[in-house]
A = this chain, B = another copy of it.
Amino acid sequence: MSQRLTIALDAMGGDHGPDMVIAGADIARERHPDVRFLLYGDQQRLEPLLNQRPALKAVAEIRHTADFVAGDAKPAIALRAGRQSSMRLAIDAVAAGEAACVVSAGNTGALMAMAKFVLKTLPGIDRPAMASFFPTQRGESVMLDLGANAECQPENLVQFAVMGAVFARAILGLPQPSIGVLNIGSEDMKGNEVVRAAAASLRDMPLPGRFHGFVEGTDIGLGTVDVIVTDGFTGNVALKTAEGTAKLFSEFLRRTFATSFLARIGYLLARGAFKRFRERIDPRRYNGAMFLGLRGVCVKSHGGTDAVGFANAVAVAINLATHGFNERIKEEMGRIADAPPLPDTKAAAG
Contact = CB atoms under 8 A, between A and B. Distances in A.
A249 B247 contact: no
A135 B245 CA distance: 10
Given A217-B243, A243-B217, A262 B272 contact: yes
Given A147-B184, A247-B222, A266-B268, A237 B260 contact: no
A72 B186 CA distance: 11
A219 B236 contact: no
- Residue with the greatest number of chain B CB neighbours at <10 A, chosen from A234, A242, A247, A257: A242
B276 A270 contact: no
Interface residues of A, number: 63
A163 to B, nearest CB: 20
Contact of A267 (B187, B191, B270, B276): B270
A53 interface: no
Contacts of A256: 270, 273-274, 276-277, 280
A181 B82 CA distance: 32
Nearest to A238: B241
Contacts of A151: 192
Nearest to A189: B74
Contact of A242 (B233, B242, B259, B267): B242
A98 to B, nearest CB: 32
Given A262-B272, A268-B266, A274-B256, A221 B237 contact: no
Interface string A274-299: 10110011000000000000000000
A213 B296 CA distance: 37
Interface in A216-254: 216-222, 230, 232-234, 236-249, 251-253
B260 A184 contact: no
A194 B77 CA distance: 24
Contact of A269 (B190, B263, B271, B281): B263
A136 interface: yes
A218 B192 contact: no
A254 to B, nearest CB: 10
A348 interface: no
Contacts of A253: 253, 277
A137 interface: yes
A191 B266 CA distance: 46
A325 B138 CA distance: 44
A119 to B, nearest CB: 23
Given A74-B189, A249-B249, A263-B272, A217 B236 contact: yes
7 contacts: A72-B187, A151-B192, A221-B245, A238-B238, A245-B245, A252-B277, A266-B270
